[in-house]
Amino acid sequence: MRQGEVAGRQVTVVDTPGWWKNNSVKDTAELDKQEIVRSVSLCPPGPCALFLVIYVSSSFQEKQRRSAVEHLELLNERVWRHTIVLFTWGDCLGDTTIEQHIETEGRALQELIEKCGNRYHVLNNKNRADGTQVTELLEKIEEMMAGHGGSHYEIDRMLLQEVEEKRRAVEERVKQRMTKVQNQRKTLRALFWGEEHRLSE
């Protein structure tokens, strides 16, 4: 999580675990799924926006669309009201507009953008000094929030509690395993040193 001031606004960015763009949610590690859910609780009262990052430089197929939908819906169906598709490496577009790119990519990308309320933004990675692209993104976030009464995305508290309980259970199992391994090492050391002592007599 990083915090700072951007274009006169206080901003908090939480980077969630990613997933392989072709993997279904069932192929994603359980801890990664839990972290995706938990990450939205790290900036109370909840994030203003969630970004679904897509590289302009790679093709977007139905498999990637399904994967994105499955992973975002770990949070719940309301997530789409707060999601913006964020295209990176916009410099790879050359003279092609983002609208032309979306059209040529086909139905999978178009459906995903529609699911996000037709909200998207492009970042040019080679021109990071251009503050206007970030300012425009912040304006899109404010416009989106105004569209639903200024409300932040809120995770279902029961879902978050369930994830926290699973996480604590995993941490407890890890702790128990570490204790068991340490005890086994002590026993082996004692056996080894005892045997070595007898041999030296």
Predicted pLDDT at 106: 94
Residue 108's domain is classified under what CATH number?
A: 3.40.50.300
Residues of the chain with pLDDT > 70: what percent?
Answer: 97
Report d(CA 30, CA 140) in Å as an integer: 33
Structural domains of the chain, count: 2
Question: Domain check: are 172 and 143 in the same one?
Answer: no
Question: Domain check: are 195 and 100 in the same one?
Answer: no
Domain encompassing residue 126: 2-147
pTM, to two decimals: 0.80
What stretches of the chain show up as alpha helix (H) in DSSP?
A: 30-39, 62-72, 98-105, 107-115, 131-147, 157-200
Question: Domain check: are 81 and 134 in the same one?
Answer: yes
Question: Domain check: are 175 and 136 in the same one?
Answer: no
pLDDT in tens, 16-30: 888 777 788 999 888
Give me 150's structure tokens.
């200024």
Question: Domain check: are 164 and 136 in the same one?
Answer: no
Report d(CA 53, CA 64) in Å as an integer: 12
Predicted pLDDT at 201: 56
pLDDT in tens, 66-84: 999 999 999 999 999 999 9
Question: Domain check: are 94 and 46 in the same one?
Answer: yes
Q: Is the peptide bond before 17 cis (omega within 30 degrees of 0)?
A: no
Which residues, other chains included, contact 52 with Cβ-Cβ below 8 Å and sequence gap of 6+? Answer: 68, 72, 83, 84, 85, 86, 112, 116
Question: Domain check: are 193 and 160 in the same one?
Answer: yes
Predicted pLDDT at 186: 87
Contacts 24+ apart (CB under 8 A), 191-198: none
pLDDT in tens, 115-139: 999 999 999 988 878 889 999 999 9
Question: Domain check: are 136 and 189 in the same one?
Answer: no
Question: Domain check: are 131 and 105 in the same one?
Answer: yes
Predicted pLDDT at 134: 92
Splitting the chain (201 residues) into consecutive groups of 10 residues, what average pLDDT does each group show?
Answer: 89 86 86 89 91 93 94 93 96 95 96 98 88 94 94 86 85 91 88 66 56
